[in-house]
Structures are given as structure tokens and as C-alpha cells.
Amino acid sequence: MRGAGIIMALAVAITACSGPEPVSEDIAEQPDAGVHAAEEVNLDLWLERLEVGSRELYSARNAVVDAVGLEAGDWVADIGSGTGLYTLLFAEKVGRDGQVFAEDIEPLFLDLVARRAADGDFDNVTAVLGREDDVTLPENSVDVVFIADTYHYFEDREAVMHSVFNAMKPGGSLILVEFNLEAGEERPDHKSHVRFGKDAVVSELEFIGFSFDGETAIEGLDENYFVRLTKPAE
């Protein structure tokens, strides 16, 4: 049966998502850790923050999903899945023959995603508890990795992205959506957590081993860029 070995390999990572375990202290105390900061995670609050029309990644979500170019049967990893907005859209695109892995380091988010998937009758969504330095997915398991509004929160970007690279099938696609900073731009308050712009990010990913495939203009994305990279085929 297709993917049976991968599902078995995921069992250890997924087991940790079965209950609302508290975030470990080393995660909770990360500086500039976005949704994983020291404040208690309030799911209703984060739904209001992340799924609101004034947020580009919400209002342009359908255009973003179309640009990812998923096909029925694809296996997708939504890294930093948060409330599961894109996870559920991907699940609809890949169909019952596909699989979507919602990865996050916050168990309460993963519980929420699992409930939303069940409510939507999606049986192709698997919640995966990641670590600060590892997305905890098996090697060569996914066709597409999607990372939106999350890359700049990684404290150990090199370790995380090496784990992403290893999890991707040869020839697989990495989609990155991030706030951009132009050279010499003074960071506005709403970009205070963003430390580098598109060129620096692409350079880092090329160092890991990814090949840059280009940028796509997405209607509705003005402050964010959408780039595609690939894991070279063996």
C-alpha cells in the first residue's frame, strides 16, 4: 500500500500530538518566537489574528494555493501550519489519494488542525509535532513543502532547512512566502520580527542545496513574496 512505511515512520512524531501537552520551557522562552512566544496560546485569539481579511495570506489564500500547483495524490508538508488555514485547502486539492502533514511546534495548534480536519471530513491530514531544529518528517517523503510567514521565526534555520531538504523527494518543490525587506529599508513596526529580505533568504536556501526556480507574482500579495525552490533530482 502506497506510503504505508512512511506513515509507520511518522508514528513516533504523531504520538506526541495526541493530547494537549504543554510547550516545553525552551520553546516557550524563545526570543522573537512569534506564535510560540511566552504568552499563553489562545486559539480563538490566533484564529482572529491569522484568519482575517486584512491579512494578505488570508485574503489571497486561494490565489496562493493555485500558484503552489498541487496535483491529486501529492504529499505536502505545511510547515508552521498554525491554525491549519492552508492545511485544509491543500487537503482539498490533493484529494483522498494525497496526504497533508500539518507540522508545528505548538501542540494546541495541532489539536485544532486535527479537529478542523475531522469536522471537514478530511482523512488525508496528519498532525506532526516538530522540534526547534527538525520538522520530524521521514526522508524523501513529500512532493511539496510549504512555508508561509514562518521562516523568519526559525532560530536554527540551517538545521530546520536541512531537515526539510531531507524530507523532500528529489525534484520536489519548496514554496516560501515571506515578508520582504528591500535593501536599506527601515523596518516598520509590523515587520519588526523580520530580519532579512528575499535575496538573503534565497542565498541561505541555495547554501543548503536547494535550486532557485524563481518568483511568482500573486494577486493580493503586496508585502509578501512567493518563491519556488527545488531539491535537485538525483
Dist. CA 189–CA 179, nearest whole Å:
13
Please check the confidence at residue 77 and state whether its pLDDT lies above 70. Answer: yes
Model confidence, pTM:
0.79
pLDDT cut 90: percent of the chain above it: 61
Tell me: the pLDDT tens digits for 93-145?
999 999 999 999 999 999 999 999 999 999 999 999 999 999 999 999 999 99
116 and 84 Cβ atoms separated by less than 8 Å: yes
The burial of 5, by beta-carbon neighbours within 10 Å (0-12 exposed, 13-18 middle, 19 or more buried), is given as: exposed
pLDDT band at 226 (very low <50, low <70, confident <90, very high): very high
58 and 82 Cβ atoms separated by less than 8 Å: no
Asked: is 4-19+40-230 a CATH 3.40.190.10 domain? The reply is no
Which sequence spans correspond to the domains of the chain? Answer: 4-19+40-230
For the four alpha carbons of 136, 139, 145 and 147, in that order, the dihedral sign comes to positive
What is the reported pLDDT for 157?
94
pLDDT cut 70: percent of the chain above it: 71
